[in-house]
Structure 1
Amino acid sequence: MSTATETAIGEAKGTLTPVGLPHLERLEHLEHLRGLPPGPGARVGALPGLPPFARSGFAGGLRREAGRRGGVEPVDLHRMYRGE
């Protein structure tokens, strides 16, 4: 059993169709949140990951853009339940 801890700032979408580039501004918002200074007394290690979650997956354009940005890893139901 691993004792590693990973910090993430994410957002979940429950749409019936794959999430596409119109939701790109949400990735930009998550990047903004990641860049805010920590609160008083907070211990900060590595920057948190930015995993957007989507029930119906992601369109190719959004996947490509996420791959271009560091720390952004889209998570759909398949990956969430199977870990792939």
Structure 2
Amino acid sequence: MPSIDVVLDLSVEACLAHYEGRVGQVMAYSLDGRRVMFPAEALRRVVARDGVHGTFRLFFTPEGRFQSIAPLQRDV
């Protein structure tokens, strides 16, 4: 399963915009510089009280569709 590692640093306000559906996609940059877009609903799995901060691995199907997100490390 293809994967890409990204660093996310989203405030509570930014996460709320995604959660409320005002923003449908998240745009981030991978650790190797590629631009990556994935569904905002994925943030629901990793959001904390202070937003989303840290390094995450995004998993995609062989066809390139987002499948899941997993935290690798949380920035403190």
Shorter chain as normaliser: what TM range? under 0.3
The structure that is strand-richer by fraction is 2
Which structure: larger Rg? 1
Q: Normalization by structure 1: what TM-score?
A: 0.25
The structure that is helix-richer by fraction is 1
